[in-house]
A and B are shown apart, each in its own frame.
Chain A
Amino acid sequence: MFLTKEQQKMLDGEFGHAIAKLTQLIVKIGEVNGATRLIPIKNAQIAGVSYLTVGEPIFTFFNMLSEDNVKVSVPSWLNPAGMDMKKWKEMGIKNDFAEKQRKIIQQYQKMGIQPTLTCTPYLIGHKPKFGDHLAWSESSAVSVANAYYGARTNREGGPSSLASAITGFTADYGLHKKENRVPKIVVDVKATITHFSDFSALGYWYGEKFHGIIPYFKNIKNTNIDQVKMLGAAMAASGSVAHFHIAKHTPEAEKVDLSYISETVTFDENDKKQIYDHFNQIKERVNLVVIGCPHTSLEDVKLIDSSLGDKSIKEGIKFWVFSSQELMQNDKAKKLLTNLEEKGVKIFTDTCMVVSPVVRENYKNIVTNSAKAAFYLTREGTNNVNLLSLSEIIERVSE
Chain B
Amino acid sequence: MKTIKIRTIVEGTVEGIALVSPIPISFFGGVDAETGIITDSENPLFGESLTDKIFVFPESKGSTVGSYVIYGLSVNNVAPLALIANKAETIVIAGAILANIPFVDKTDQDVTISIKTGDKLVIDTTQNIIKIKKE
Contact = CB atoms under 8 A, between A and B. Distances in A.
Contact of B93 (A28, A53, A58, A61): A28
Contacts, number: 74
Contacts of B28: 53, 55, 57
A100 to B, nearest CB: 14
B9 A32 contact: yes
Interface string B46-75: 000000000000000001110111011001
Interface residues of A, number: 25
Nearest to A56: B33
A116 interface: no
B135 to A, nearest CB: 32
A21 interface: yes
Given A56-B33, A60-B75, A61-B98, A28 B9 contact: yes
A159 B27 CA distance: 14
Given A21-B98, A29-B94, A57-B33, A158 B72 contact: no
B interface majority secondary structure: helix
Contacts of B9: 28, 32
A60 B72 contact: yes
A16 B79 CA distance: 24
B67 A159 contact: yes
B34 to A, nearest CB: 8
Contacts of A63: 75
Nearest to A27: B97
B109 interface: no
B127 interface: no
Interface residues of B, number: 23
A158 B90 contact: no
A159 B64 contact: yes
A159 B72 contact: no
A25 interface: yes
Contacts of A157: 64, 67, 90-91, 94
A47 B68 contact: no
A352 B94 CA distance: 27
A29 B94 CA distance: 8
A160 B90 contact: yes
Contact of B67 (A55, A56, A158): A158
Contacts of A57: 28, 33, 65, 68-69, 71-72
B35 to A, nearest CB: 12
Interface in B75-131: 75-76, 88, 90-91, 93-95, 97-98
Contacts of A56: 33-34, 72
21 contacts: A25-B93, A25-B94, A28-B9, A28-B97, A29-B90, A48-B65, A54-B65, A54-B68, A55-B65, A56-B34, A57-B68, A57-B69, A57-B72, A58-B65, A60-B33, A60-B75, A60-B76, A61-B71, A64-B71, A157-B94, A160-B64
Interface of A: 21, 24-25, 28-29, 32, 47-48, 53-58, 60-61, 63-64, 137, 156-160, 163
The 7 closest A-B pairs by CB, nearest first: A157-B64, A57-B68, A57-B72, A159-B67, A60-B75, A159-B94, A57-B33
